Amino acid sequence: ANSNPKVWATRWTFILAATGSAVGLGNIWKFPYMTGVNGGGAFVITYLICIALVGIPIMMAETALGRHGRHNPIQTMFELAKENGASKNWGIIGIVGVLSGFLILSFYSVIAGWSLSYMVDGVSGVFPSLQGDAAGEHFSALIASPGKLILYHTIIMGFSAFIIARGIHEGLEKSVRFLMPALFVLLMLLLGYSAFTTGYFMEGIKFLFVPDFSKITSEAILAGMGHAFFTLSLSMGAIMAYGAYMPKDAKIGSTIVTVAFFDTFIALVAGMALFPIVFANGMEPASGPGLMFISLPAAFGQMAGGSIFGTLFFALVAIAALSSAISLVEPAVAWIIERFPVNRAMATIIVCALVWLLGLASVFSFNIWSEIKPFGKTIFDWLDYVTANILLPLGGMAIAIFAGWVMKKEIMEKELSLSHGGFTLWRWLIRIISPLAVFIVFLNSIS
């Protein structure tokens, strides 16, 4: 095992940390509700195609760029541009990435806080009382309370700061070694519960895997692609930062396939666990973002063992969100440490305090600022929309072009360690297919 403070102990710790980053609210909250809204199976297939053709190649590229640069994402992009004889402006990718990460974390932490709040409510036995309108009212009461939202947002940011301040080995590695197995066990318990007690398991499977292509709109395709970026934590510096700590001899190609497999597997299992619960209780799969915070708690309240499993479910969500949040703190912290004469603890405090402050805008957009809707969306909706549907796809496209056209072929070949055929395929995907896919999907959605 490696004791270099800037390198993961083993390839498996990278896998755990990168999977920790990837698996989050995207898998357990966003993926099921987007699937519900976009009509089920056809959306799932669109999303899987985006993961395979665009997500995985770009995730490999980001990891390889990170490891080759061995710095924070901003400095890495500037140095790689220089090393490969390209314009310094490519460095902007790093800056925009770290900034997007900031924006995402600011609202991500607020939603993670909702899960924590439901977990606490679950412990006090609230689910059985959430019948009929009570479930919606419970949720409305939570988001109407700036104090509660700020409290839980602060707890999430506080935990993230604590982990990141302790560094790569003592903080990141130790936390994911505990969090990821816990997440897996909880998810399997929930799947078993859903499969054996609801009686609607097959309805859930059909909804997820039997496509109805008449339901596919260009908006749904953009959403599927944006989500492929979001769910794999791409174009925000997170994976590039984690890649910078990867041992030199680890094979990036196969490692990333493993991480992407886990992320996809967990999203699908979350869907398989949740939809039967939704159907068994006669609820609408297309209820949108409220699916997890209104329909599910109500459903848990009606079921035998629902209080316990509901509480475990929200614990699972909070854990998944925490291991993602830390990966959004690390890139900015790494940048500050390398760029300014500041230690890790101080850099962590600066980053987390700024993100916390920005998070208040999301908090208030659910209550005291809920009427402020420039162009019809609240601040929270704008942050989500602009990051997932614009910044991430464009950032990903820029990374693909950089890795495919600017980076020297030999460097990428060596870093990825794919088979000959695998590398040829990767190069086609990264140079042509993924930039083109992003471009077309993007044009389609704005026209």
The yes or no reply on residue 115 touching Na ion (CB under 5 A) is: no
Q: By CB under 6 A, how many residues form the interface with ligand PHE?
A: 15
d(CA 112, CA 24): 9
Using CB under 5 A, which of 63, 75, 231, 264 touches Na ion?
A: 231
Beta-carbon contacts of residue 403 (< 8 Å; ≥ 6 apart): 58, 61, 62, 64, 65, 412, 430
The yes or no reply on residue 327 touching ligand PHE (CB under 6 A) is: yes
Of Na ion, ligand PHE, none, which one sits near residue 327, judging by CB under 5 to 8 A according to partner kind?
ligand PHE
Q: If we measure between CA atoms, which residue out of 103, 110, 89 comes closest to residue 331? A: 103
Using CB under 6 A, which of 50, 64, 135, 328 touches ligand PHE?
A: 328
The yes or no reply on residue 397 touching Na ion (CB under 5 A) is: no
Question: What spatial distance separates the first Cα and last Cα of the chain, rounded to whole Å?
Answer: 53
With contact defined as beta carbons under 8 Å apart, do 168 and 244 qualify? no
Site string for ligand PHE, 358-397 (x = CB under 6 A): ----------------------------------------
With contact defined as beta carbons under 8 Å apart, do 246 and 8 qualify? yes
The yes or no reply on residue 231 touching ligand PHE (CB under 6 A) is: yes
Which 100-129 residues touch ligand PHE, going by CB under 6 A? 104
Which 245-264 residues touch ligand PHE, going by CB under 6 A? none
With contact defined as beta carbons under 8 Å apart, do 135 and 297 qualify? yes
Which 341-360 residues touch ligand PHE, going by CB under 6 A? none
d(CA 13, CA 7): 10
Using CB under 5 A, which of 22, 116, 236, 400 touches Na ion?
A: 22
Nearer to Na ion, 230 or 314 (CB): 230
Query: Closest separation between CB of residue 322 and ligand PHE, Å?
Result: 11
Tokens 């925009």: give the residue.
Answer: 96
Angle, CA of 243, 267 and 200, to the nearest 5°: 170
Query: Closest separation between CB of residue 238 and ligand PHE, Å?
Result: 4
Nearer to ligand PHE, 237 or 297 (CB): 237
With contact defined as beta carbons under 8 Å apart, do 313 and 127 qualify? no
Site string for ligand PHE, 18-37 (x = CB under 6 A): ---xx-xxxx----------
Query: Closest separation between CB of residue 28 and ligand PHE, Å?
Result: 8
Q: If we measure between CA atoms, which residue out of 85, 26, 1 comes closest to residue 317? A: 26
Nearer to Na ion, 190 or 379 (CB): 190
DSSP secondary structure letters along 148-181? HHHHHHHHHHHHHHHHHHTHIIIIIIHHHHHHHH
Q: If we measure between CA atoms, which residue out of 188, 192, 168, 227 comes closest to residue 46? A: 227
Query: Closest separation between CB of residue 31 and ligand PHE, Å?
Result: 8
CA 345, distance to chain mean position in Å, is 25
Binding site for ligand PHE (CB under 6 A): 21-22, 24-27, 104, 230-231, 233, 236, 238, 324, 327-328
